[in-house]
Structure 1
Amino acid sequence: MNVRASKPLAKAIVARREIQRHLEFLTRQITARAGTQTTTVKAWRRARRRSGRRTCHQELVDRLTFERWVELDMIHRKLAMQESVIGEPQHCDKRPLHHPAT
């Protein structure tokens, strides 16, 4: 493997890990916020003694995800770009180094 090519590849791998961590952080944040809101909604309903449409946890997760779709989409695009950058040198390594004489 070319030493010069390995340095940018290492940087791309580190960048991909950071992007994945950020995406996982956002997912955890959305899930936690939905859990908090679910608890709040349940307590509010008990206090008011009203029967109404129940908002389940998954609906809140979906709503919060939709509210942050621009940020999530941007991170998914960055991750896809990093995957393609990391995949390019691997495809280059599969080419034969020496061509047989004809």
Structure 2
Amino acid sequence: MIDIRLLRPLAKAISARRETQRHLDCLTRQIAARAGRQATTVKVRSRARRRSSPRLYHREIVDRLAFERWVELDMIACRLAMQEQVIGAFLHRDREPVLHPAI
């Protein structure tokens, strides 16, 4: 028989991990979109002088924006790693045989 009360914490942990992953993906998309807008603006302003390559410049902007928000990105990555450990512990707990103490 499957005890629903034991599965509830695992489901909550999986849901929390999914939400944290969505937040990290959203943050990554925001950084990429902002870098794209900044690269386009710089490209239009400096048509007379050429940089090495538009992709390289875009990558530099992405790296700079990620560095500016490294605290937030690091916090979310650490939270995601912690949630992975919690889920792993729940899954490991569920695989272990239940030993009932002798009464």
For residues 52 and 3 of structure 1, what CA distance do their matches in structure 2 show?
60
Deviations 1:29-85 (CA, angstroms, capped at 9, x unpaired): 000000000000111102xx3456776110100000000000000000111111111
Relative to structure 1, is the Cα distance of residues 51 and 7 closer, same or farther in structure 2, using a 3 angstrom cutoff? Answer: closer
Relative to structure 1, is the Cα distance of residues 7 and 52 closer, same or farther in structure 2, using a 3 angstrom cutoff? Answer: closer
- Consecutive unaligned residues of structure 1, counting only runs of 5 or more, are none
1:5 equivalenced with 2:35 (yes/no): no
Question: Which stretch of structure 1 is more off in the superposition, 22-31 or 4-13?
Answer: 4-13
- Conservation of the 8 A alpha-carbon contact between 2:14 and 2:87: yes
| RMSD (Å), alpha carbons | 2.0
Moved over 6 A (4+): 52-55
> What SS does structure 2 have at the residue aligned with 1:56?
helix
Relative to structure 1, is the Cα distance of residues 52 and 11 closer, same or farther in structure 2, using a 3 angstrom cutoff? Answer: closer
TM-score for the superposition, normalised by structure 1: 0.83
Question: Which stretch of structure 1 is more off in the superposition, 50-59 or 84-93?
Answer: 50-59
Q: Sequence identity, in percent?
A: 61
Question: Which stretch of structure 1 is more off in the superposition, 3-12 or 17-26?
Answer: 3-12
Residue number in structure 1 paired with 2:71: 70
- Conservation of the 8 A alpha-carbon contact between 2:51 and 2:57: no
Residue number in structure 2 paired with 1:44: 45
For residues 99 and 30 of structure 2, what CA distance do their matches in structure 1 show?
52
